[in-house]
Amino acid sequence: MKLFKYLFSRKSASPKGTVISYGRGPEGEEVIIDITETKHINLKVIITFFVCLPVMMALFSAVYGVDSLNVTSENCFSRGKYLVLSSFVCGVLVNWLLQSVVYILIHPAAYRMLKIRYNKRNYTFRLFHKGNLKIRHFRIANMLAHSLCGYIPLIVGFVVGDVSICYFAFLSVLFFSDEISLLWRLRHYSGQSICRYISL
């Protein structure tokens, strides 16, 4: 638990300080997220992969047997490359699409404000909303998209006994782990606060 808190809550080595800052502006409480900062997300992904994947495989093999861990033609994904490609599409593109739909539904002017930015310092892309987005909207959009793209398929894979679906869901989660980190760090802020991004 201490390692989890350290990785997802630690401060940046940059002179600017933390990735997230809090203050008050003309429109009320504001939470500023600086996506130009170095967040070492690649380290988090590697640690998450090597810690969580063996646990998932151990649980699955305990229920369905060791032979069930193979991705064969009888599974949803007959080849590993298809599984990785599908998880990337789901974890990035479908995830962003679902977030965009939610933003537009709960904040109709959002379609004019949605942007995709590339962070050169840590080689990550992020969909962000430029404007007066409430933190509760950010939470709803991300949690719904993450559930549909990762958490629900992971549960379905365990229920139906298909490990390829579990692999697919697990890899999808890794692709949006940067957003999970942001959700974790925003947990202490009020849902009424305005969430703004700073980007190059």
How remote is the C-alpha of 23 from its chain's centroid? 25
> Tell me, what's the pLDDT at 131?
66
The predicted model scores a pTM of 0.74
- List the chain residues with pLDDT less than 50: 3-4, 6-18, 39-41, 73
pLDDT at 98: 92
pLDDT of residue 152: 94
Cβ atoms of 198 and 33 closer than 8 Å? yes
Asked if residue 93 lies in contact with residue 127, where contact means CB atoms within 8 angstroms, the answer is no
- Res 146: pLDDT: 94
Contact assessment for residue 41 and residue 122, using Cβ atoms and an 8 Å cutoff: yes
pLDDT score, position 148: 94
Q: Please tell me the distance from the alpha carbon of residue 131 to that of residue 114, in angstroms, as a whole number.
A: 9
The pLDDT assigned to 111 comes to 64
pLDDT of residue 4: 45
pLDDT of residue 194: 83
Q: What is the pLDDT of residue 191?
A: 84
| Phi, psi angles (nearest 5°) of residue 35 | -85, 5
**Token couple for 49:** 């992969």
- Residue 127 burial by CB count (10 A; 0-12/13-18/19+): exposed, middle or buried? buried
